[in-house]
Structure 1
């Protein structure tokens, strides 16, 4: 229970269904005491709100300290990725290495048969008795992308009470049930990054000695400016670059080793494919795989063929080749494959591939 509307309604629905429900909140991060971080996932008031919701429902509630785990598996890799010129996906890392990976062992300790969350996604157990993951009914709120890594045995034990609901329905239900803080707003920011932005956070955590300043170069390799660190840029970025070329310019490449940030036109952002790590895939997936691939959480997806290839430098890897070029494929993000609503799995993006020759960049 995060203290938000979604997990509170999910718990209420489970109570209605006759389950013996135990509320669990993970303490992941410490925040200022000045209430400046309200409105974030895992914000300071959330543990209190979760307890109030549990009391309202008449269920026990426990909070477990997982701050060190969160720092090691989410915050530190987030900082490292930006310093390497990548764009990390911390919410995927949190679900993979902290939330979901901790909840199942905690369920064992508490004597619970199932784990339930307020994610907008669905699980189904097929005629073969095996668990599979699907998109939620609410396509705007669908969070299956963040759960793509779950194993089949975990999916069999995972209950998602909001999978067939829309956010509007859940909000109305929270008010009807008089759940405390039913009017609580959506989390809009990363829970651990202060309002000052990613750049300052990375610098404060890493120290100035790890920051990599360097040149900003145009399509011809000419230096058109200087920057204070590659961690302040992401592929596809247009605003806040710090130079004016008299024409639309986007960040199309980041070389962390040299510190160079490369600019180009919008066409230079188009990738014909992506080089992927091994990833986590459903038990019934075989390669080559035809699927709709989302290269970031807000991406609608593009039809692609994913196949295993041997890279001279990386060894055996996966390559996704898009039917139509995709804009701003960024190393550090996650490619998740779908067949309709079914989630096949996904993998970390190592590099974008540009051109028909398939060279990575």
Structure 2
């Protein structure tokens, strides 16, 4: 393996999956000096169940692809960082009655952060990933846009990136569909071209979040009551970590009518049930927000309150307290179902991502929404 040189070097994140492999191949076709990097984030038990992000066979496939492309490949151990910034907060959130967004946390605090650090170490001017999203330059400033494939769009998970970071980010798959990428991988005969899609978190491949949290709770799980909309105790639970807002199945109670989890009180170890209407929120308060530098409030936008949410029209207000601290409130034009604390709200205008933040609390719906009366902000976004 030769010395790393070249002014157009691009460090590409290699997971061993179809998307990152095709991204690397396209960068090579474009004439870039490409360096493949795999982050070792998690160790899997030998139980026959594998994830897609960092299982041993995926690291092997990443190396096979880079060998085929004739580019260098490095694996870096970031398990401790992943545990600190993703796994531990994931467990804490469920124990506190919140529904976390670990993929957002991973991109924010581990993957993208480390890729930029490694790019500087390896002399790369840019980094690239296999995300289905686009970077569009407007007036010399890099902005984040949805990917062309709306069913695969992953801009939600990158909403926290600032213009200076987007300026160094290349997303080779942004204008492609998943079907096109899969077909290209097969045509190129890339290792792993026929791999299926992972539907679960990389570190909980079984999908049993409750069991994963229970194993790591260190005696913090508290049993408690399940109460109905009138406050009557209708059952008992073994921990609020096993429930999420909007859940209907697996409640362990029968009320003779449809019932949903409408609230989780970890302090009182109580699961609150209600009907469908009680799930609808009129808004949400946000924390840990990041906004584009040209956003003006009040901001009229389409807001997604979870990764698989289509989005809902809303107005985002900025409030400043006497100490000068800013806070942000989302007010929906029409009530939105299952707005869950811990999830991330991301604002869009058209295909452009404007920013977002973590949902701190949902707000009750009201007959008349203030969002419908709010003026349009002066932000202009290219079509």
**Same fold, TM exceeding 0.5?**
yes
Aligned twin of 1:130: 141
**Alpha-carbon separation, structure 2, partners of 1:187 and 1:152:** 30
Aligned twin of 1:214: 224
Aligned twin of 1:236: 246
Say whether 1:190 aligns with 2:201. Answer: yes
Q: Cα deviations across residues 313-343 of structure 1 (Å, max 9, x unaligned)?
A: x964210000011000000000000000000
Specify which of 172, 194, 200 is matched with residue 211 of structure 2: 200
Aligned-residue RMSD, C-alpha: 1.7
Q: Cα deviations across residues 101-142 of structure 1 (Å, max 9, x unaligned)?
A: 110110011111110000000001222x11100000000000
Q: Cα deviations across residues 62-94 of structure 1 (Å, max 9, x unaligned)?
A: 000000000000000000000000000000000
Structure 2, unaligned runs of 5 or more = 1-13, 369-383
Specify which of 142, 156, 168 is matched with residue 167 of structure 2: 156
Deviation at 1:310, TM superposition (A): 5.2
State how 1:163-174 maps to structure 2 within 5 Å. 163-174=174-185
Say whether 1:74 aligns with 2:76. Answer: no
Aligned twin of 1:141: 152
Q: Cα deviations across residues 5-55 of structure 1 (Å, max 9, x unaligned)?
A: 000000000000000100000000011134x22243322311111001111
**Alpha-carbon separation, structure 1, partners of 2:271 and 2:241:** 10
**Alpha-carbon separation, structure 2, partners of 1:351 and 1:121:** 28
Cα 1:346/1:196, change in 2 over 3 Å: closer
Task: Confirm or deny: 8 A CA contact 1:234 1:251 kept in the other structure.
Answer: yes
Task: Confirm or deny: 8 A CA contact 2:44 2:50 kept in the other structure.
Answer: no
Task: Confirm or deny: 8 A CA contact 2:318 2:327 kept in the other structure.
Answer: yes
State how 1:217-296 maps to structure 2 within 5 Å. 217-296=227-306
Q: Cα deviations across residues 235-288 of structure 1 (Å, max 9, x unaligned)?
A: 000011110101100000100000110000011000000011140111111211
Cα 1:232/1:247, change in 2 over 3 Å: same
Q: Secondary structure at the match of 2:345?
A: strand
Say whether 1:28 aligns with 2:38. Answer: no
Deviation at 1:180, TM superposition (A): 1.1
**Alpha-carbon separation, structure 2, partners of 1:90 and 1:155:** 21
Task: Confirm or deny: 8 A CA contact 2:200 2:207 kept in the other structure.
Answer: no
**Alpha-carbon separation, structure 2, partners of 1:326 and 1:281:** 22
Say whether 1:299 aligns with 2:309. Answer: yes
Specify which of 327, 352, 357 is matched with residue 337 of structure 2: 327
Task: Confirm or deny: 8 A CA contact 1:41 1:189 kept in the other structure.
Answer: no
Give the number of equivalent residue pairs: 355
**Alpha-carbon separation, structure 1, partners of 2:366 and 2:247:** 24
Aligned twin of 1:100: 112
Q: Secondary structure at the match of 2:309?
A: coil
Structure 1, unaligned runs of 5 or more = none
State how 1:18-97 maps to structure 2 within 5 Å. 18-34=31-47, 36-97=48-109
Say whether 1:4 aligns with 2:17. Answer: yes
Deviation at 1:232, TM superposition (A): 0.4
**Alpha-carbon separation, structure 2, partners of 1:79 and 1:311:** 32
